[in-house]
Amino acid sequence: MAEEKVVTEEVKAEALATETPKDNKAPRGDRRPHGDRKGRPERKGDRKERHEPKDDMEERVVFINRVSKTVKGGRRMKFTALVVVGDHKGQYGFALAKAAEVPDAIKKASEAARKKLYSIHLVKGNTISHEIVGKYGACNVYLKPAPEGTGIIAGGPVRAILELAGVQNVCSKVYGSRAPINIIRATNQGLNNLKSYKTMKELRSKE
């Protein structure tokens, strides 16, 4: 009898080992191989991929400043970034953006600068056609064409916008306000008011 009990127990153990489970649930690690956390199938637009701008624009960070806003709960710190973009072929843009982190502020400013581009016409020697004074607020920027080989004689903000615009020979001087954004806006105002050599010759002959 004892031997029969031992045999029957061995047979039962083998049967339990080979028996398939009643619930056909997959192991915990193999559940939901695709889709989101709730088991729903993943759709094409669910995953957001970061697309970097694919163009020939070069960007340069001119100025970064930390600013604060006083609210009821205290001070909220943010960062502002001034970015200039250009293709070295006569197109350029600039923008000022604010965000909680420096990389986010730079990215926002770069995207905004690419949306609004300006263009200038360069003359022989990659310089401007005539002298001009750009004005914005209390800032005046004097720009003067220079012969080939002179280079860009300018300060930080003016140099950034001229280099990225493609100007290679020019002399400049800043008067008044030294805020970087005011300098860039004054430079932009001067570049936008440039006229062709032929137009300037006609205007001077009339005088």
pLDDT at residue 195 greater than cutoff 80? yes
181, 146 Cβ separation under 8 angstroms: no
Q: In which region does residue 56 sit, left (phi positive, over 0), alpha (psi from -120 to 50) or beta (all else)?
A: alpha
Q: For the chain, which domains are there?
A: 58-118 (3.30.160.20), 120-194 (3.30.230.10)
Mean pLDDT lowest for which of 118-122, 157-161, 197-201?
Answer: 197-201
Residue 110, judged by CB atoms within 10 A of its CB (0-12, 13-18, 19+), counts as: buried
> Which residue's structure tokens are 């350029």?
92
Per-residue model confidence as pLDDT tens digits over 112-135: 999 999 998 888 888 998 899 999
| DSSP notation for 47-77 | S-PPPPP-SS-EEEEEEEEEEEEEETTEEEE
pLDDT at residue 35 greater than cutoff 90? no
pTM of the model: 0.69
User: 1 CB contacts (<8 Å, ≥6 apart)?
Assistant: none
